[in-house]
Amino acid sequence: MRIGFSVPQFGPFADPDRTAAMCAALEALGCHSLWVADRLLAPLDPPEGYLGGQQMPARYGTHLDPLLTLGLAATATERVRLGSSTLNALWQPPLVLARALTTLDLISHGRLDVGIGLGWMREEYEAAGVPWRGRGARLEETLDVLEAVWCCDPVSHTGPLWTIPESTVLPKPRQGPRPPILLGGFTPYALERVGRRADGWLAASMPLPFFHALWAVAVEAAERAGRDPAELRRVFRVNPDITTAAADPAETHHRGTVRQICDHLARMCTAGTDEVLVDLQLTTDSPEEYLDLAAAFMAALAG
């Protein structure tokens, strides 16, 4: 089982020196990967609520930039894969994004996994000046531009939203022909896009039957596109609410003891997940607590 952890970057962990030291310590634990998240703001009174009406965690309002934080993690580590789960890629022009991601792949010596999603918060789109409607089409063209910039020389693109005249755009990423692209999402259309044009899926806390149903959509889409679904990766993210007493078994995809959460992650791996990503930033308050809990997860998942 490949085990990854979130890069400590928000709330009490939003301190660059602390983040760099914790990335090095997490690598020393033997994990496979480290992943940044992307949060632009935390509305004080969001009209649609958070996760079904809950109040948004206060620490979401303190958040280091994901791409700069990945650069920090790259210089603090030597071995672990470095990814984004997920990067809200639509908040900047794709050519600008491609340049930043290329630089990260070079800084990390080819350790970058590009995880992209559409996000779920309208307020962030409004603040970024990006339309909420048409996000799917915008993502499709963003992927087109990334492919063109990374895989072609010279580069050119003409689309509904962006135009790149025939140009030299160098350097290229260290990983050839490009870094792996994984897409997030929880709808059939999102999984159709995964199967049609991504290298894998960034899944998150969900019961196993829902996971199977969505993955079947990606498999069918890959086969229709003439792609081998066996080559697609599945990375399963969990933001666990750790309890001392055993939780309801129906909730262990996101809530329970360390043992219960690990048992669910083991079932996900048996079901075909290639890697698990454990985000401990909402359930710990200090570097020591975070690293101790990460070590407990490593030990439990290894057993």
> Using alpha carbons only, how large is the chain's radius of gyration in Å?
19
Q: What tokens does 244 get?
A: 């001392």
Total residues found in the chain within this entry: 303
What is the structure's pLDDT at 57? 82
Cis peptide before 171 (omega within 30 of 0): yes
Provide the CA 168 distance to its chain's centre, in angstroms: 30
Report d(CA 232, CA 222) in Å as an integer.
9
Report d(CA 159, CA 140) in Å as an integer.
10
What is the structure's pLDDT at 55? 72
What is the structure's pLDDT at 53? 57
For the stretch 7-22, pLDDT in tens is: 999 999 999 999 999 9
145, exposed or middle or buried, with CB in 10 Å at 0-12, 13-18, 19+? buried
Give the residue with greater pLDDT, 252 vs 178. Answer: 178
User: CB neighbours of 20 closer than 8 A, spacing ≥ 6?
Assistant: 72, 73, 75, 76
- In this prediction, residue 44 has a pLDDT band, given cuts at 50, 70 and 90, of confident
Region 166-192 average pLDDT = 97
Report d(CA 287, CA 11) in Å as an integer.
12
Residue 210 has pLDDT above 80, yes or no: yes
What is the structure's pLDDT at 164? 98
| Average pLDDT score, the chain | 95
Residue 213 has pLDDT above 90, yes or no: yes
Report d(CA 162, CA 92) in Å as an integer.
12
Report d(CA 215, CA 190) in Å as an integer.
10
What is the structure's pLDDT at 54? 66
Cis peptide before 46 (omega within 30 of 0): no
Note if the pTM is more than 0.85: yes
For the stretch 77-122, pLDDT in tens is: 999 999 999 999 999 999 999 999 999 999 999 999 999 999 989 9
Q: What are phi and psi of 85, to 5 degrees?
A: -140, 90
Report d(CA 175, CA 299) in Å as an integer.
32
What is the structure's pLDDT at 59? 87
- In this prediction, residue 303 has a pLDDT band, given cuts at 50, 70 and 90, of low
DSSP per residue, 179-214: --EEEE-SSHHHHHHHHHH-SEEEEES--HHHHHHH
Give the residue with greater pLDDT, 83 vs 57. Answer: 83
287-300: buried (b, 16+ CB within 10 Å) or exposed (e) per residue? beebbebbeebbeb
User: How large is the angle between the packed helices 258-270 and 208-224, nearest 10 degrees?
Assistant: 30
